[in-house]
Amino acid sequence: MVPKCKVCSDAYSPGNKEPVSLQCGHSFCRACLMKIRETAGVLKCPTCRKIHDHPAIENLTVNYDLMTASVTATRSVSGSDITSMGSSPPQKGVIAIVVKDLTDQQFRLQIQVNSTVKDLKKVLQAQYGIAPENTRLLFRGRRLEDQKTLQDYNIATGNIIQMSTKYVGGGETTTRR
């Protein structure tokens, strides 16, 4: 079962729908907490009603365990699995994609279509430890820009995004004189 925000019942995803933890230990999507604070003028935990002053909602810690459980991802996928992406179809606004590296290792996941490329890189980091600053993503021969959304590139369920990573290795070289 996919973890969902207990306030809006949406599945967690990168961006405003990412799960953040309050000091009391309860987690909700950032968007709902912002709406609660805006409506009530104060942030009360929807579960235990404890008032939270610090840190600011924008600085709350992301609950990566919930994010990982919510964003379905596995290391390999066969061609026939690309469209199914698991036991249940993607929810409205969620697309199921495959990210493939240069060694043909495949990573499948479900993500909001309005997520940015930067959000996609964050999910890859949370799932697989791939450093976003070393990752370049390509779709249909075009390099994807971090600030643009997947929707901007017309990325849809079943599409494959190519990934290249760069790592600097080895030690410094010295020149003998």
Q: Calculate the CA 162 to chain-centre distance.
A: 17
Q: Is the peptide bond before 3 cis (omega within 30 degrees of 0)?
A: no
Could you tell me the residue ranges of all domains in the chain?
Answer: 19-67, 71-165
2/73 Cα distance (integer angstroms)? 12
In tens, the pLDDT along 123-162 reads 888 777 788 888 999 999 999 999 999 999 999 988 999 9
Secondary structure of residue 147 in the 3-state scheme: coil
Residue-averaged pLDDT of the chain: 79
The count of other CB atoms within 10 Å of the CB of residue 32 is: 20
| pLDDT score at 74 | 30
Q: Is 142 exposed, middle or buried (0-12, 13-18, 19+ CB in 10 A)?
A: exposed
Q: Quick one: average pLDDT of 78-98?
A: 56
Chain segment 99-120, per-residue pLDDT in tens: 998 888 888 888 889 999 999 9
**Residue 52, number of CB atoms within 10 A of its CB:** 18
Task: List, for residues 22-34, the tens digit of each pLDDT value.
Answer: 988 899 999 999 9
Q: Is 87 helix (H, G, I), strand (E, B) or coil?
A: coil
Greatest C-alpha distance within the chain? 72
CA-to-CA distance for 70 and 52, rounded, in angstroms?
25
Is this model's pTM higher than 0.85 or not?
A: no
Closest CA to 95 of 112, 120, 81: 112
**Distance, C-alpha 113 to centroid of its chain:** 11
Q: Which pLDDT score is estimated for 168?
A: 60
Angle CA 147–16–158, to nearest 5? 65
> Which overall architecture, per CATH, does domain 71-165 show?
Roll (3.10)
pLDDT for position 80: 34
Report residue 95 CA to chain centroid gap.
Answer: 12
Place of tokens 């849809």: 156
Of the pLDDT bands very low, low, confident and very high (cuts 50, 70, 90), residue 16 is: confident
d(CA 112, CA 91): 9
